[in-house]
Amino acid sequence: MLRLLGLAPPAASAHAAQLDALTTWFTVLLALLGGPVIVLIFFFAIRYRRGKEVNRAHPPNRKVALEVSWSVIPFLLILGFFIVAARMFYEIHEPPAGAMPISVVAKQWMWKFQHPEGQGEINMLHVPTGQPVRLTMTSQDVIHSLYIPALRLKQDLLPRRYTEMWFTATKPGTYPIRCAEFCGTDHAVMGGGLVAMRPDEYARWLSGQASGGSLATAGAELYRRLSCGACHDAGAAVAAPPLAGLYGSRVRLADGRSVVADDQYLHDAIVTPNTQAVAGYRTIMPTYGGVIGEDDVLKLVARIRELKNVPGGRQ
């Protein structure tokens, strides 16, 4: 309905089309339920106004079926909309297996996108149509919010936290990206564009972009440059938790907790390691918060994720 009235941009994803349909039909339902009430309010206000000669007797109404129907039917209709909306909410927060991973780092005042093959973009994000895309996002400084109106999606990006959003673009075109959270002086100009391309066009575009290797490859180089292997590699002189097979396993912490080694855990173990001390190991790892940027942390996490299936890893 909003699109028909020119109040919403074209829908460029399956989720956007579903959300528009839900909004339209819910608006119709509200009009059907609320419209008669509003009309009757004005009707009775005029008909039974003070000084008007009219029959004000109130004979008892024993039509039980009618009384029940106008309570039960609206309740069931609204319950149906709740079920549909809850299912959509669940689906949009559960990316499908095999979704193309793209890393996003927000900074004052720009968006940095990193493709899995290593290609990077500033403020513009190219994606293929028909392919689920999963964005893993964080902020380098303050809270930002990635808003893509054509996809009907918005997600906050928080410092030192990972948030996710996924979508499947269905319609080729270029669609605006906005920051929907006030983030400083140039918040109003913090924008960009989502470029949805046919898969063959996207493949040609991707092959024409410079790449220094995948995110995991860049992480391996950073791992070597920071001398992480001096503690974490097999046979290292300093005892530190092994990284082979770490990702996805359960880790027992020094405070007795047991956590899953997911992206957020690895991020915190790099940036603030003393808050994630592993049981049986000394807390001697230096803090990298403020030493390396969030884009470098993403590279190290990608490197450790790549070691998930290395022989000799944890089960």
Those residues whose C-beta lies under 8 Å from the C-beta of residue 216, and which sit 6 or more positions away, are 299, 302, 303, 305, 306
Residue with tokens 């359960």: 250
Cα gap 157→152, rounded to integer Å: 17
Instruction: State residue 57's pLDDT score.
Output: 78
Categorize the per-residue pLDDT at 191 as very low, low, confident or very high, splitting at 50, 70 and 90: very high
Cα gap 3→12, rounded to integer Å: 12
Give the range among 59-73, 113-127, 178-192 with minimum mean pLDDT.
59-73
Q: Which range has the top average pLDDT, 8-12, 101-105, 292-296?
A: 101-105
| CA neighbor of 127 nearest in space, from 196, 59, 224, 66 | 196
Instruction: State residue 147's pLDDT score.
Output: 96
For β-strands 153-157 and 144-148, DSSP reports them as antiparallel
CATH T-level assignment (fold) for domain 215-309: Cytochrome Bc1 Complex; Chain D, domain 2 (1.10.760)
Residue with tokens 């579903």: 18
Cα gap 22→226, rounded to integer Å: 51
Cα gap 207→197, rounded to integer Å: 14
Instruction: State residue 315's pLDDT score.
Output: 34
Choice between 59 and 69, residue whose per-residue pLDDT is larger: 69
What the block records as the tokens of 182 is: 């006030």
Average pLDDT for 164-192: 94
For β-strands 191-197 and 173-179, DSSP reports them as antiparallel
Cα gap 113→262, rounded to integer Å: 21
Q: List, edge to edge, every strand of the sheet that includes 133-139.
A: 120-122, 110-114, 100-107, 133-139, 163-167
Sign of the CA dihedral 128, 129, 131, 134?
positive
pTM: 0.78
In degrees, rounded to 5, the angle at the alpha carbon of residue 215 between the alpha carbons of residues 213 and 217 is: 55
Average pLDDT for 74-103: 91
C-alpha pair distances (Å), 299 with each of 127, 153, 223: 21, 26, 9
Give the number of residues written for the chain.
Answer: 315
Is the per-residue pLDDT at 311 higher than 60?
Answer: no
What the block records as the tokens of 134 is: 């999963």
Is the per-residue pLDDT at 314 higher than 80?
Answer: no
Q: Where are the domains of the chain?
A: 14-51+62-92, 100-207, 215-309
Instruction: State residue 277's pLDDT score.
Output: 82
pLDDT digits (tens, 9 = 90+) for 233-250: 877 777 788 888 888 889
Name the CATH superfamily housing domain 100-207.
Cupredoxins -  blue copper proteins (2.60.40.420)
